[in-house]
Amino acid sequence: MPDPSSNVLDQFRQGDIGAFELLFRKHRRAVYGWILRIVRDHAAAEDLTVESFWRIHCAHARFQPARPFEPWARRIATRAALDWLRARRPEGALTERVMADLPSVPAGNPGVAAEIRLKTAQAFARLPPRLRIAAVLSVVEEQPHKEVATALGISVTAAKLRVFRALRLLRKDLQQQGITP
């Protein structure tokens, strides 16, 4: 008996809008959540989810039905989020309001002063977007390196290197502000 999900993927590859809607309904939450982890802004994450599914629809002919849909969709979503981060001024990112609006689990260390947390967030926002994505997914969201590397379209070693470089630059920026981690 043929697998119904692979049938949907085949139909999607042929450009069937019904199959596309089924895939959208099934994966929208995962794609939205992934983007939210990167951009940390609800409204932007919703817009980027729409943008990602538009890109997914445009790329339907390149999709290989033998491969899982979600990592492929996540990779496209990561690219859309990266474009968004690049287009934004770093000063505008991760403001106090955005941080306050974000649904999050309690911070790991409540003992860290609010001012230091804000300065850290601002310093983090000044990092190059490709380093920021690797660091936020690996360190903050604790996603496996392999998953981060797949989403970024790079090797696991390159993903680890990006995280390391992000942390080093962050430390340097904080030290310049007189904060010694």
User: Which residues are at the interface with another protein (CB under 8 A)?
Assistant: 21, 24-25, 28-29, 32-33, 36-37, 40, 42, 45-46, 49-51, 53-54, 57, 94, 99, 102-110, 112, 116-118, 120-121, 124, 135-136, 139-142, 164, 167-168, 170-171, 174, 181
Nearer to another protein, 1 or 107 (CB): 107
Coil, strand, or helix at residue 139? helix
How far, in Å, CA of 146 to CA of 139, rounded?
Answer: 13
CB 59 to another protein: min, Å: 13
Q: Which amino acid is at 181?
A: P
Nearer to another protein, 50 or 59 (CB): 50
Contact 80, 48 (CB under 8 A): yes
Contact 179, 116 (CB under 8 A): yes
Nearer to another protein, 108 or 178 (CB): 108
Structure tokens at 70: 């979600």
Contact 98, 41 (CB under 8 A): yes
Nearer to another protein, 40 or 152 (CB): 40
User: For the chain, how long is the longest CA-to-CA vector?
Assistant: 65
CB 1 to another protein: min, Å: 29
CB 169 to another protein: min, Å: 10
How far, in Å, CA of 59 to CA of 75, rounded?
Answer: 12
CB 48 to another protein: min, Å: 10
Nearer to another protein, 158 or 179 (CB): 179
